[in-house]
Amino acid sequence: MREVFEIAAQDGAARIGELDVPRAGVTVETPTLMPVVNPNLITVDPARFPEFGAEMLITNSYIIKNDPDLNERALDEGLHEMLGFDGAIMTDSGSFQLAEYGEIDTDTEEILQFQRDIGSDIGTPVDIPTPPDSSREQAEEELATTQERLELAETVDVGDMLVNAPVQGSTYPDLRERAGEHAYGTSLDLFPVGAVVPLMNQYRYDDMTEAVLAAKRGLGRDAPVHLFGAGHPMMFALAAALGCDLFDSAAYAIYARDDRYLTVSGTKHLDSLHYFPCDCPVCAEHTPREVERMGDAAREELLAEHNLHVSFGELRRVKQAIKAGNLMELVEARAHAHPRTLDGYRALLDHADQLEASDPASKDAFRYTSADSARRPEVLRHHRRLARLDVAGDDVLLTEGDDNRRFDECWNVVAPFGPFPSALSTTYPLTAETPERMDAAGYEAAAEGIRRLADANPETQFTLAHHDWPATALDAVPERVETVDTSGGD
């Protein structure tokens, strides 16, 4: 791996990064979104991509190579001139066609040399995208082939073109992790998580989450990670939270072709829209009925433009959230806009420990917005810290209310975190904004905090003064902690 990627800011596993693309002479800020260009089917002129905020695009070298006209032009003018785009260009290899049609007539060495010759800035070897739910035997065999091809790619003279090292392994997390380790050990530069398109097309965001987090466990933290085929803005926040740095969108064009309109909470069909719920120039200047009455080409182009605007708008929101340290709130908002993104978020929370490891110690105020918030990495981190905090007194009050001098020492209790010394009450994440009407999950998490503290201090007598906690939370408080309800039954 060359030193082309630098992390500038971090929030959980998400990061703002800078990717140097030496051949293009540009540094791209990540997370970035690459519109997919099918050179045979141009919906929005790539020369206009910078208007939307695109710094990079991705196109398919295999399609170009097999089309005599495009082949000649690409070799003659170069890709940048041919597409009219002077940002960074990534090319794919035909692996996707291999997955669709079962065979292709090129190989890693030939297609990498072709990518180099047409002026690609980031090339791709011929990896094998093993579909989800394949047999373990197939996944292992194909992964071995992909790994041979990555090793072959290391030996090809590609000049200063960067090279992708796709991570495969189907729906087997241990294979994904092993594939990540192997890819990271090569001299290749970027690390796309492959064969997740079928998962995303079926809205299996939980399985996608497992695949990405497994690949990330194998890859070093400094590896730039691309989520191959991730183009729907409803999942950008989740994908960024998993630690993905590059996305590519064919969706903006494919969806526009059949009158589908992207939003951050799902896809709408044009004929179901009475109003455009968006402030992009297309939506501000037209009504759905006007767009519907246009000719096919004009309608498709306008919808594709909206789709790009909404995608880049969400990308900016994701980046702002990473900088502010509140990406998890955005992930949660998106999760609650669609049941399947909620599955993805819940799968991510199953791995709160993996995210906790790279979470900054302090950031924007923690906001508790649903029962799922109780499982966030910040809560887990506080619970782990409880075992290390000093308890001085023999008889300690843990209270949601005021100090009480009858006790040697008094700690505050705030759901979902649980207990903490009052001196920490102005420090992150205990400055959390929480609802007045806390749910059972929040109190249960606070009880887990009490359990950790009690376990770490077996000699200390603890009393919990709580305000009408639900039975499920009180049941989770260790027996030896005395509990007092201070609500007076109101």
Residue 394 falls in the annotated catalytic set = no
Whichever of 34 and 74 has its CB closer to ligand GUN, that residue is: 34
Is 195 annotated in some ligand binding site?
yes
Is 256 annotated in some ligand binding site?
no
Please provide the distance, in angstroms rounded to a whole number, between the alpha carbons at the two ends of the chain: 63
Least distance CB 185 / ligand GUN (angstroms): 19
Chosen from ligand GUN, Zn ion, none, partner binding at 95 (C-beta under 5 to 8 Å by type):
ligand GUN
Chosen from ligand GUN, Zn ion, none, partner binding at 418 (C-beta under 5 to 8 Å by type):
none
Whichever of 15 and 306 has its CB closer to Zn ion, that residue is: 306
Whichever of 10 and 108 has its CB closer to ligand GUN, that residue is: 108
Residues in 293-322 at the binding interface with Zn ion, rule: CB under 5 A:
306
Least distance CB 278 / Zn ion (angstroms): 3
Q: What is the largest CA-CA distance in the chain?
A: 88
Residue tagged active-site, from 92, 207, 259, 359: 92
Angstrom distance (rounded) from CA 348 to CA 331: 10
Instruction: Annotate each residue in 243-282 with x if it binds Zn ion (CB under 5 A) or - if it does not, as one string.
Output: -----------------------------------x-x-x
Write the burial class of residue 42 (CB in 10 Å: 0-12 exposed, 13-18 middle, 19+ buried): middle
Whichever of 100 and 479 has its CB closer to ligand GUN, that residue is: 100
Q: Does residue 44 belong to the site contacting Zn ion (CB under 5 A)?
A: no
Whichever of 14 and 282 has its CB closer to Zn ion, that residue is: 282
Phi, psi of 92 (to 5 degrees): -95, 170
Chosen from Zn ion, ligand GUN, none, partner binding at 306 (C-beta under 5 to 8 Å by type):
Zn ion
Least distance CB 120 / ligand GUN (angstroms): 13
Angstrom distance (rounded) from CA 346 to CA 342: 6
Q: Does residue 237 belong to the site contacting Zn ion (CB under 5 A)?
A: no
Q: Return the H-helix or E-strand segment holding 453.
A: helix 440-456
Identify the CA nearest to 244 among candidates 187, 353, 167: 167
Output the six-digit token pair for 285. 């200047």
The residue of the chain with the least Cβ separation from ligand GUN equals 194
Q: Does residue 430 belong to the site contacting Zn ion (CB under 5 A)?
A: no
Is residue 167 within 8 Å of 194, Cβ to Cβ?
yes
* DSSP label at residue 433: B
CA distances from 273 to 11, 251, 270 (A): 36, 19, 5
Place of tokens 């991509």: 49
Is 456 annotated in some ligand binding site?
no
Least distance CB 85 / Zn ion (angstroms): 23
Least distance CB 282 / Zn ion (angstroms): 5
Q: Does residue 90 belong to the site contacting Zn ion (CB under 5 A)?
A: no
Buried b (16+ CB within 10 A) or exposed e, 251-288: bbbbbbeebebbbbebebebeebeebebebebbeeeeb
Radius of gyration of the chain from Cα atoms?
Answer: 26
Least distance CB 468 / ligand GUN (angstroms): 52
Chosen from Zn ion, ligand GUN, none, partner binding at 229 (C-beta under 5 to 8 Å by type):
ligand GUN
Helix 339-350 vs helix 205-218: angle between axes, to the nearest 10 degrees? 30
In the complex, which residues of this chain contact ligand GUN (CB under 6 A)? 92-93, 95-96, 124, 127, 129, 166, 194-195, 197, 228-229
Q: Does residue 382 belong to the site contacting Zn ion (CB under 5 A)?
A: no
Whichever of 152 and 337 has its CB closer to ligand GUN, that residue is: 152
Whichever of 283 and 453 has its CB closer to Zn ion, that residue is: 283
Bridge-based pairing of strands 260-263 and 266-269 is antiparallel
Q: How many residues bind Zn ion (CB under 5 A)?
A: 5
* DSSP label at residue 370: S
Beta-strand ranges (E) seen in 272-408 are 395-399
DSSP state letters, 99-143: HHHS--S--HHHHHHHHHHTT-SEE------PPTT--HHHHHHHH
Chosen from ligand GUN, Zn ion, none, partner binding at 194 (C-beta under 5 to 8 Å by type):
ligand GUN
Chosen from Zn ion, ligand GUN, none, partner binding at 329 (C-beta under 5 to 8 Å by type):
none
3-state secondary structure of 60: strand
Least distance CB 101 / ligand GUN (angstroms): 14
Angstrom distance (rounded) from CA 43 to CA 49: 11
Chosen from ligand GUN, Zn ion, none, partner binding at 60 (C-beta under 5 to 8 Å by type):
none
Angstrom distance (rounded) from CA 288 to CA 110: 47
Q: What residues are designated binding site for substrate? A: 127, 195
Annotated binding residues, written as ranges, equal: 127, 195, 278, 280, 283
Catalytic residue numbers? 92
**Which residues are documented as binding site for Zn(2+)?**
278, 280, 283
Question: Where along the sequence are the contacts to Zn ion (CB under 5 A)?
Answer: 278, 280, 282-283, 306
